[in-house]
């Protein structure tokens, strides 16, 4: 199935939109080396600045879910994206730690919901047969943010000050907002579905549906498998693998390039052979590479780059195929609520997974991380359990779409 010119435009808009959201989330961590002395804050205070985004985003998703299917998705997207731009702009002009903390809360409240709206729009406008390639393109936003966005943001920080990257993202957001206003058509077909429930009843129905609960459980485990190793990745690379910290940008650059190529290819492959098959292949690859990575000692740079790139390709294959299947779970009239709750669960689960990783891993006085293989095995177990849950969702999707379209799943 070929995409129309308008559908290609929509995919491009959604991808660039995701780029701005992901870049805003990613840019804060590398700015820590500047923010700590400039704002005279401790590492725990900086950690709160980072985590408060996820917690406010999680809360916002739950609060929005009851209303998510009662509005034109274009209007809903514009409302939250405007709030996101405002929050990012406030990050760019604040001068004190409390102001930055408040600005990150505002950004999280609005930005955390945009991902769920994006997924709902993709499910509304694209048939399951082509949704894999759409998700593949949207997911490349992470790679572009890593390849181009982070270096550009850090360059602006070094050339001017730490406010400049946030002002850059806000400026990009304004341009994207104008494109959405002028080019995106109303997305309101779901409004034709009769829904007499109030917002609270709609949220309660979404949270208690046995079918939807399976999808939420899969999201929890997907976040666990995807986020547990991320907080300590650079520390492990430097202190356990013996890679100079100055080489980290090269590792990120090559990994980002690999994902930029692999994302669209994985999306097309999932449409061609089936989403669950690609999920299984991505999981198998991820398990192998996680096991190898967590048991490495001092390793040459080329080997670290190779292992890291293959690992992230496997993780990307899992995320693209699983997110595509999960968008097929809710009924059209519940899609906005379901995706909002799902996004909140993902945010909260990611935060809890990172906290659990901090309990498992111990850093010695020399900087070396202990128990990292144990962390890897916990991730592997989470991945294996997710395979079972995703098979249940795969069967559910097959039952919904019918035998004529079974190959799409």
The DSSP code sequence of 384-403 is HHHHHHHHHHHHHHHHHH-G
- Tell me the residue length of the chain: 409
pLDDT band at 48 (very low <50, low <70, confident <90, very high): confident
What radius of gyration, in Å, describes the C-alpha atoms of the chain? 21
Q: What is the mean pLDDT of the chain?
A: 85
Q: What is d(CA 148, CA 229) in angstroms, rounded to the nearest whole number?
A: 23
Kindly state the average pLDDT of the residues 221-226: 78
291: nearest Cα among 377, 406, 358, 401: 377
Which of 298, 292, 309, 314 is CA-nearest to residue 237?
A: 298
Distance of CA 193 to the CA centre of its chain: 29
Q: Are 197 and 376 in contact (CB under 8 A)?
A: no
Q: What would the pLDDT profile of 72-87 be if each residue is shown by its tens digit?
A: 899 999 999 999 999 9
Rounded to the nearest 10°, the torsion over CA 283, 372, 220, 188 is -70
Give pTM, 2 decimals. Answer: 0.81
Task: Report the distance separating Cα 133 and Cα 363, nearest Å.
Answer: 41
pLDDT category at 195 given cuts 50, 70, 90 is low
CATH of domain 5-189+198-401: 1.20.1250.20
Out of 11-15, 259-263, 333-337, least confident range: 333-337
Look-up: residue for tokens 């991820």? 286
Work out the burial of residue 72: count CB atoms within 10 Å of its CB; fewer than 13 is exposed, 13-18 middle, 19 or more buried: middle
Residue pair 188/56 in contact (Cβ under 8 Å)? The answer is no
What's the confidence (pLDDT) of residue 231? 64
Q: At 384, is the pLDDT very low, low, confident or very high (cuts 50, 70, 90)?
A: very high
Tens digits of residue pLDDT in 105-159: 999 999 888 988 998 898 889 888 888 888 888 888 877 876 777 777 777 887 8
Are the C-beta atoms of 305 and 29 separated by less than 8 Å?
no
**Geometric angle at alpha carbon 96, from 94 and 100, rounded to 5°:** 55
Sign, CA torsion 60/329/350/264: negative
Per the DSSP assignment, residues forming a β-bridge with 370 are 362
Structure tokens at 112: 């955390």
Higher pLDDT, 248 or 309: 309
Give the 3-state secondary structure percentages of the chain, helix then strand then coil, rounded to 5: 85, 0, 15
| Span 280-322, pLDDT tens digits | 999 999 999 999 999 988 999 999 999 989 998 998 899 899 9
**Using an 8 Å Cβ cutoff, are 139 and 319 in contact?**
yes
Type and span of the H or E element at 220: helix 210-227
pLDDT tens figures, 356-368: 877 888 878 887 8
Which region among 175-179, 280-284, 335-339 has the lowest average model confidence (pLDDT)?
A: 335-339
Supply φ then ψ for residue 404, to 5 degrees.
-65, -30
What gap in Å lies between CA 378 and CA 367, rounded to an integer?
A: 22
pLDDT, average across residues 20-42? 81
Residue whose entry in the numeric block shows the structure tokens 């690999």? 258
Which has more pLDDT, 244 or 103? 103
Residue 326 has pLDDT above 70, yes or no: yes
């Amino acid at each position: 199935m070929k995409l129309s010119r308008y559908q290609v435009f929509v995919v491009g808009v959604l991808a660039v939109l995701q780029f701005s959201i992901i870049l805003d989330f990613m840019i804060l961590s590398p700015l820590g080396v500047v923010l700590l002395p400039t704002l005279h804050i401790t590492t725990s205070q900086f950690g709160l600045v980072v985590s408060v985004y996820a917690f406010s985003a999680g809360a916002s998703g739950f609060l929005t879910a009851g209303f998510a299917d009662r509005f034109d998705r274009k209007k809903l997207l514009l409302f939250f994206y405007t709030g996101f731009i405002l929050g990012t702009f406030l990050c760019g002009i604040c001068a004190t730690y409390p102001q930055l903390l408040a600005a990150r809360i505002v950004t999280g409240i609005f930005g955390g919901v945009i991902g769920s709206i994006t997924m709902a729009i993709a499910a509304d406008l694209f048939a399951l047969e082509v949704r894999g390639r759409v998700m593949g393109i949207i997911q490349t936003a992470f790679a572009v943010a890593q390849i181009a966005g982070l270096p550009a943001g850090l360059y602006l920080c070094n050339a001017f000050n730490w406010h400049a990257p946030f002002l850059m993202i806000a400026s990009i957001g304004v341009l994207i907002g104008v494109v959405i206003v002028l080019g995106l058509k109303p997305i309101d077909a779901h409004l034709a579905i009769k829904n007499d429930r109030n917002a609270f009843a709609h949220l309660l129905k979404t949270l208690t549906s046995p079918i939807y609960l399976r999808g939420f459980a899969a999201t929890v485990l997907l976040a666990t498998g995807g986020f547990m190793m991320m907080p300590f990745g650079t520390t492990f690379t430097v202190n356990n693998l013996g890679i100079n910290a100055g080489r980290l940008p090269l590792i990120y650059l090559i990994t980002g390039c690999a994902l930029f190529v692999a994302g669209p290819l994985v999306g097309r492959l999932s449409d061609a052979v089936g989403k669950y098959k690609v999920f299984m292949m991505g999981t198998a690859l991820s398990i192998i590479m996680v096991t190898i990575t967590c048991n490495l000692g001092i390793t040459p740079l080329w080997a670290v780059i190779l292992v890291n790139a293959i690992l992230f390709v496997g993780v990307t294959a899992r995320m693209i195929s699983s997110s595509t299947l999960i968008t097929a779970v809710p009924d059209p009239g519940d899609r906005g609520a379901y995706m909002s709750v799902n996004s909140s669960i993902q945010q909260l689960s990611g935060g809890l997974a990172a906290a659990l990783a901090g309990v498992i891993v111990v850093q010695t006085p020399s900087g070396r991380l202990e128990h990292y293989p144990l962390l890897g095995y916990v991730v592997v177990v989470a991945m294996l359990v997710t395979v079972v849950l995703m098979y249940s969702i795969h069967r559910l999707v097959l039952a919904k779409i019918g035998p004529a379209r079974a190959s799409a799943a």
